[in-house]
Amino acid sequence: MSNIGVIGAGSWGTTLADMLAKKGHDVTLWAYEADLVKEMATTGVNAAFLPGITLSSRLRFTNSLQEAATGKEIILFVAPTQVFRSVITGVLPFIAEGTLLVNAAKGIELGSLMTISQISAELLPPRHYANFSVLSGPSFAREVALEMPTAVVAASLDASVARRVQESFSTPRFRVYTNSDMVGVELGGSIKNVIAIAAGISDGMGLGYNPRAALITRGLAEIARLGLAVGGQSATFAGLAGMGDLVLTCTGDLSRNRTVGMQLGEGRKLTEILAGMHMVAEGVKTTESAYHLAQKLGVEMPITEQVYQVLYQEKSPQQALMDLMTRDLKAEGMEFGKNS
């Protein structure tokens, strides 16, 4: 068993911290909000982000990054992508030699258009980055917290690092596979949120199952094209971090991104939707960064482009649908990245 620090007490961070503590690890969960730390320590519940789930009595809580990171064998980052740069900078002075670094958040940073692993490669000394990995896959936090069977993937440039994550995180209810395609896993976990917004828009418009199936399939092609353009491997997008996470997020009622899309499809404004949400729908910001990354790399992503225009240019969902359906006719490629 390991001494683990978990950075980020949203629904996913709290769930993973609780799961690791129940496995027998010594876990400290960091939250930015001092009142949330006090609440969890007092009640054993994260009512704001994981209501109704009693957390392991083994968990410790802190809002000190130094306390969360010092002396830890594993540091798990589950902070929102847009604040990850500042969080890892704050943690860096306290990372011990040989500490396993794992990121479980999903997204692409605005401005830099970097994934979490790319930000980490820029900020971490090589000796620390050598121990870096990402954890992704189809995994609603509440279902994991309720110990429903779940399968995810741990990816690292170093196979031994991925295996260490696999061994540390796997339980009889949480199965971890390994993968060497870190950036591909990240892109799959990020862009699926954009496609989920599109699927939600379709559902909110009452369009039925046919368009949802088309959006999932053509959305996967977009994910693969962008992933291949940044060095990912095509097989990754047929796996848990690609197709698996995409199907879950586009169809599951627990998907915050699909919920945003549904409300857009029903005619609500984005500002109104976001004002009423307590938890982050990462796909809203990822849509912006994914759109600009695709433009930068010259990758065709028509679904992402239409979602971007609906979110940021006040395009109507009805016009976005028409523009998607009346694009130039093409052949379907037999492999990802061709004739799409």
Of 97, 86, 63, 91, give the one whose Cα is nearest residue 76: 91
The tokens for 179 are 């993968």
| Annotated catalytic residue, options 23, 72, 192, 285 | 192
Of 177, 277, 303, give the one whose Cα is nearest residue 235: 177
Q: Does the annotation count 315 as an active-site position?
A: no
d(CA 285, CA 191) in angstroms, rounded, equals 11
d(CA 43, CA 29) in angstroms, rounded, equals 15
The phi and psi torsions of 229 (rounded to 5 degrees) equal -65, -25
Active site residues: 192
